Amino acid sequence: MNKIRTLSPARSLRGEISVPGDKSISHRSIMLGSLAQGTTLVRGFLHGEDNHATLKAFRAMGVTIEELADGDLRIDGRGLHGLAEPADVLDCGNSGTTIRLMTGLLSGQTFFSVLTGDRYLRKRPMKRVLAPLATMGAQIWGRGGGDLAPLAIHGGALKGTEYDSPISSAQVKSALLLAGLYADGPTTVWEPHLSRDHSERMLRYFGAEVRPFEGGVTVAPQPQLEGREVAVPGDISSAAFFMVAALIVPGAELLIRNVGVNPTRSGIIDILQAMGGSIELLNTRELSGEPVADLLVRGSSLKGIEIGGAVVPRAIDEFPVISVAASFAEGTTTIRDAKELRVKETDRIAAMVEELTTLGGRVEARNDGMVIDGVESFNGGAVKSHGDHRIAMSMAVAALRARAEVSIDDTACTATSFPNFWSLLEKVRV
Ligand code: S3P
C-alpha cells in the first residue's frame, strides 16, 4: 500500500510512552507455546503484521490460539509432535524470522509443508538456514538453486549437528535449535559474535535443556516443553526510534517504559551512550527470563564514533536510525562489519545512503557499512521507505531535524513491527 506521510520539523519532544511488544519474543512465544504441553498465556504480544504471519501459520497447523480482550494470547499447546499438516502454503509475509525459524521447526515434522512470503522476502537468502539443516538430514527445496522462497519441506528424521556459522544470525541459530529439538542427539551452533539469545532463553523457560558456552550453544533433543506465561517486554528496536528522536531534538525529554534490555539487543544503548547520548536505565527488572528497564532519554550533543565488531549483531536492526543519529553528531561516524544490512528487508546501506543524501546528509556507502559526517540540519524533501518499516521510521525521525517538511512515500510497511508508531510520534511532539 502506498501511503505518503508528510512530517514537519519538531519544536521539541516530551512525555512518557510505552512501545509495543518485542517482535522476536512474540514470534518465539507462538512457536514454543504451540509446541508445548498445556496452555501458554502471552501478555503484551505484538500485534504487527510479521507476528500475525506466524500466528496464522500455527493456526493453519491446527493450533488453537485465542486472542483475549486486551490483545493477550492464549495458546493451547499441542506438544512437540502435535502439529497437523497445513492444507495450504504458509505465507510468512515480510517476516524473515517466521520463514527461517519455521524452516527449522518444520524440518522435524512428519508432514509436508510449503513456505512463501511477499516480494521482498522472496528475494532474501535462505541457504544460510537450508545448508546447515541439510547436514541434519532435512529435505528442503527452493527456487534459485535452493536459496529462495517458496520453500518446500519434506519433514522427517533429523540428526544432531555441530555447525560453525560464518555469520552471527539469530535466525540461523534459532532454526537449528528448533530442528535440534527433533534430532537424535545434541545440536551445537557456534557464531562469530553472540546474536540475540531469545530462543535460548525461552526454550530454557519452557523447560528445554539449553547450554550456552563461550562462542556457541548446545540444545539437547527434548521430549517435552511445558506451557508457561510469557510477559513480552517492549521492543528495544521500536524504542530505538524514540531514543534517537529524543537525542537529536534539542531540549527533548522522553521516558520510554518497559523496554527489553537483553544484552544481546542493547547495543543501541551502548552506541548512543558512546556518542554522548543521555540515556538512563531506571527500574531494571526481569520478566519471563528477559531483562527490562525504563529508559529516560534527553536531548544531547552527539559526537561521531567508530562502530564495528561484537556490538554489530547486538544492534543489527538499529543501523538505519543510528545513521540518522550520526548525521547530527559532531565529526565522523564509521560503521563497519555490518554487511548483513545488505540482506535485510531491503539493502539498508543503499537505502539509507540514498535517502539521507536526498535530505542533504553527508553519507557514503561501504561494502560493510557507512561513513557519515555530521550536519547541522536536514533539508526538506521527498524520501522513500523502500517498502522497509525501519527505513520509513528512520526517515520520520530524520524529518524532526529538517528545516522544512519531509514527505515519506510508502509508509504502510510500519505495520509490520510498529502499528501505532505515527500516533505515538504525534503524542510526544510539543
Ligand atoms: C531476528 C534476528 C535478526 C534481526 C531480525 C529478527 C530474530 O536477523 O535482524 O529482525 O528474531 O531472530 P538475523 O538473525 O538474520 O541477523
User: pLDDT tens digits for 301-320?
Assistant: 999 999 999 999 999 999 99
User: 351-386 burial string, b = 16+ CB within 10 Å, else e?
Assistant: bbbbbbebbbbebebeebbbbbbbbeebebeebbbb
Based on the fold, state whether residues 220 and 239 are members of the same structural domain.
Answer: no
- Supply the DSSP string of 170-200, one letter for each residue: HHHHHHHHHHHTTBSS-EEEE-SS----HHH
Whether 317 is a known active-site residue: answer yes
**Residue whose grid cell is 530524520:** 398
Based on the fold, state whether residues 191 and 335 are members of the same structural domain.
Answer: no
CA atoms of 247 and 157, how far apart (whole Å): 52
| Dihedral sign (CA 66, 72, 74, 78) | positive
Across 224-231, average pLDDT: 97
Based on the fold, state whether residues 198 and 59 are members of the same structural domain.
Answer: yes
The answer, yes or no, to whether residue 227 has pLDDT greater than 70, is: yes
CA atoms of 52 and 416, how far apart (whole Å): 9
Nearest to 80 by CA among 118, 125, 35: 35
Based on the fold, state whether residues 221 and 237 are members of the same structural domain.
Answer: no
Query: Probe ligand 1: pick from 54, 127, 165, 171, max atoms within 8 Å of CB?
Result: 171
Based on the fold, state whether residues 107 and 43 are members of the same structural domain.
Answer: yes
Based on the fold, state whether residues 250 and 165 are members of the same structural domain.
Answer: no
Percent of the chain past pLDDT 70, that is, above it, reads 100
Based on the fold, state whether residues 57 and 117 are members of the same structural domain.
Answer: yes
Amino acid identity, residue 128?
R
Q: Distances from the Cα of 138 to the Cαs of 2, 120, 176, 276, in angstroms?
A: 39, 25, 11, 48
3 state DSSP class of 2:
coil
Angle at 421 between CA 420 and CA 425, to 5 degrees: 120
Amino acid identity, residue 21?
G
Q: Which atom of ligand 1 is nearest to the CA of 170?
A: 14
Helix (H) or strand (E) holding 104: helix 96-107
Q: Name 398's Cβ contacts closer than 8 Å, sequence gap at least 6.
A: 324, 327, 355, 356, 359, 361, 378, 383, 406
pLDDT in tens, 320-359: 999 999 999 999 999 999 999 999 999 999 999 999 999 9
Q: Is the CB of 24 under 6 A from ligand 1?
A: yes
Residue 406, beta-bridge partner list:
7, 381
CA atoms of 228 and 272, how far apart (whole Å): 35
Work out how many domains the chain is built from and give that number.
2
Based on the fold, state whether residues 237 and 374 are members of the same structural domain.
Answer: yes
pLDDT in tens, 192-209: 999 999 999 999 999 999
When pLDDT is cut at 50, 70 and 90, the band that residue 417 belongs to is very high
Final residue before a domain boundary, out of 231, 264, 282:
231
Residue 164 and residue 138 in contact, taking contact as beta carbons nearer than 8 Å: no
Asked whether the bond before 212 is cis by omega within 30 degrees of 0, the reply is no
Based on the fold, state whether residues 14 and 51 are members of the same structural domain.
Answer: no
DSSP type of residue 9: P
Residue 287 and residue 265 in contact, taking contact as beta carbons nearer than 8 Å: no
pLDDT in tens, 86-101: 999 999 999 999 999 9
Predicted local confidence at residue 78, as pLDDT = 98
Residue 6 and residue 406 in contact, taking contact as beta carbons nearer than 8 Å: yes
Final residue before a domain boundary, out of 197, 231, 265:
231
Final residue before a domain boundary, out of 191, 208, 231:
231
- What is the domain range of residue 118? 23-231
CA dihedral 226, 232, 236, 239 (to 10 degrees): 170
Does pTM surpass 0.85?
yes
Predicted local confidence at residue 222, as pLDDT = 79
The C-alpha cell that represents 220 in the structure block? 539437547
Based on the fold, state whether residues 258 and 238 are members of the same structural domain.
Answer: yes
Predicted local confidence at residue 137, as pLDDT = 98
Predicted local confidence at residue 1, as pLDDT = 58
When pLDDT is cut at 50, 70 and 90, the band that residue 144 belongs to is very high
Annotated binding site: 23-24, 28, 96, 124, 169, 171, 317, 344, 348, 390
Q: Which atom of ligand 1 is nearest to the CA of 171?
A: 14
Predicted local confidence at residue 82, as pLDDT = 98
The answer, yes or no, to whether residue 159 has pLDDT greater than 90, is: yes
Q: Distances from the Cα of 315 to the Cαs of 16, 159, 271, 338, 392, in angstroms?
A: 24, 33, 9, 10, 18
Based on the fold, state whether residues 237 and 384 are members of the same structural domain.
Answer: yes
Query: Probe ligand 1: pick from 22, 26, 165, 196, max atoms within 8 Å of CB?
Result: 196
Based on the fold, state whether residues 290 and 395 are members of the same structural domain.
Answer: yes
Predicted local confidence at residue 15, as pLDDT = 98
CATH code where residue 144 lies: 3.65.10.10
